[in-house]
Structure 1
Amino acid sequence: MTTIKAFIEVQAAEMVFNTRKGSFHALSKIDLQVQRGEFITLIGHSGCGKSTLLNLIAGLLRPTSGVLLCDNREISEPGPERAVVFQNHSLLPWLSCFENVYLGVESVFGKREFKPKLIERTEAALELVGMSHATHKRPHEISGGMKQRIGIARALAMQPKVLLMDEPFGALDALTRAHLQDELLKIVAATQSTVVMVTHDVDEAVLLSDRIVMMSNGPAATIGEILSVDLPRPRKRVELAESATYIAARKAVIDFLYTRHAKDSRSEVLA
């Protein structure tokens, strides 16, 4: 029987940081496989290493031990095949929305494509996130939700194999967040992107994910459970509100988070 090779593989990854107070064991024995086109969310309490794991996949950090692979190649540094969208949009304030996206396009494709093709890629990415109307505006002239759209457009314009998102909607109001979640579902369906996303929001995780990776509390955090979300796509949040599968998945994540937090709190008291 043929075994399907995972697109992203994390094998026995450990992460220890050296601090002024000594070593801090952030992640312990992380094993994770992500298939091509899969949407994975990482969830857990603050300090459980979600962003650290994402940064390892991005190549922004090197593991203390263990191996990470993307498309069967070792992840040793950042690369254009793995685009990152942070909670802070990280747009350059002196550039227009178009120029912010174009900068990323040029860095990846500039050596092998002429300017008209680079412009075409930039315009297509802006259209994909519904921001064509803001082409000539600068970041201070648009809302927080629009800034995040531009950040997503910049990432997608580079045609990455993997889209890595670190709480991209965490700083937005509830209505804007819900709207961008719905837009992200459409974008991922259109691009067939592989996505790994950090979130604190249980409903966001269930709405977006194929699987939810639930992290134990740190230090030496690890993967506690992985929940498959067996909901058909395309997904519509209004219809999901009464879905038994959605409700069960939501309860399973909340139960894990509450049980894990209560268990760790008791351990601290006993210690």
Structure 2
Amino acid sequence: MDTDSKFIEVQNAEMTFNTRKGVFHALRDINLTVKKGEFITLIGHSGCGKSTLLNLIAGLLTATDGTLLCANREIAGPSPERAVVFQNHSLLPWLTCHENVYLAVERVFGSNESKDQLKARTRAALALVGLAHAEHKRPHEISGGMKQRVGIARALSMEPKVLLMDEPFGALDALTRAHLQDELLKIVAKTHSTVVMVTHDVDEAVLLSDRIVMMTNGPAATIGDILAVRLPRPRDRVALAEDPLYTEYRRSVLEFLYHRQAHPAKEAA
């Protein structure tokens, strides 16, 4: 098998948490491979462990059982090779956009590059997300969508092997969300990034993904199905609205989610 077909590997992963009410079994028997350059979305009802799985890949959590690999190396903790973009942009409010990104650049490349090189990396990352003009502004001076783009620029500035995104557009209004989805499509096309993204939005999943990983309901959630999205790239949301294949993919995901919601007893079977 081509090594690129196993760029990220999740093998028999389990995740439990000790709580006041006892042991909570969040994830069970998770097996997933992600190819290099692939865009994967994780979708499912609230509490199905999407973010938990993303945090396992990020190295922010350690699996109770099983193995997680990235580029044939075990994921044993956080690493700049796996950058995370959260729903909250997490910018430091007293720093400018440039300074927020520069912090990440300096952490990753500071020991090998000059300040001028680090500043050039920072400016390039901001330019990639269309924010070169706002580099000297502070977070309170820009919109919510722009803040999230700074967060994406900060992640991309580290030149990660994997971009992990936890509902990055979930708190934005519909028009801003649509604009950033389109921007993300362009950025990924330029950088050829490997992306794993958590979403609740079916249309977002179909628009962005190469494959959609559909999670069963928790507790003890697992992967219920994986849908390959064979829509050509680049993708245009207006054209796709009339595409029967897009409609079919959307229906398939909705049917899965509705079935899991309508028949939760089957999850325990």
TM-score w.r.t. the length of structure 2 is 0.98
Structure 1 counterpart of 2:18, which letter? N
1:84 aligned onto 2:81: no
- In 1, the alpha carbon distance for the partners of 2:22 and 2:163 equals 34
1:95-152 superposed Cα distances (whole Å, 9 cap, x missing partner): 0000000000000000011111100000000000000111111001111000000000
Equivalence map 1:23-34=2 (5 Å): 23-34=23-34
- In 2, the alpha carbon distance for the partners of 1:267 and 1:257 equals 13
Equivalence map 1:59-70=2 (5 Å): 59-70=59-70
Structure 2 unaligned spans of 5+ = none
What is the aligned partner in structure 1 of residue 164 from structure 2?
164
Q: Percent identity?
A: 76
- In 1, the alpha carbon distance for the partners of 2:113 and 2:263 equals 56
1:190 aligned onto 2:190: yes
Structure 2 counterpart of 1:93, which letter? P
> Shift in Å at residue 17 of structure 1?
0.2
What is the aligned partner in structure 1 of residue 205 from structure 2?
205
- In 1, the alpha carbon distance for the partners of 2:241 and 2:266 equals 36
1:173-207 superposed Cα distances (whole Å, 9 cap, x missing partner): 00000000000000000000000000000000000
- In 2, the alpha carbon distance for the partners of 1:121 and 1:21 equals 48
SS in 2 for 1:156: helix
SS in 1 for 2:258: helix
What is the aligned partner in structure 2 of residue 221 from structure 1?
221
> Shift in Å at residue 3 of structure 1?
4.1
TM-score w.r.t. the length of structure 1 is 0.97
- In 1, the alpha carbon distance for the partners of 2:2 and 2:118 equals 39
> Shift in Å at residue 267 of structure 1?
6.1
Structure 1 counterpart of 2:224, which letter? G
Structure 2 counterpart of 1:78, which letter? P
Structure 1 counterpart of 2:165, which letter? M
Structure 1 unaligned spans of 5+ = none
Structure 2 counterpart of 1:192, which letter? H
- In 2, the alpha carbon distance for the partners of 1:201 and 1:246 equals 14
- In 1, the alpha carbon distance for the partners of 2:135 and 2:252 equals 43
Equivalence map 1:1-271=2 (5 Å): 2-4=1-3, 5-264=5-264
> Shift in Å at residue 244 of structure 1?
1.0
- In 1, the alpha carbon distance for the partners of 2:72 and 2:2 equals 14
SS in 1 for 2:263: helix
Equivalent pairs, count: 267
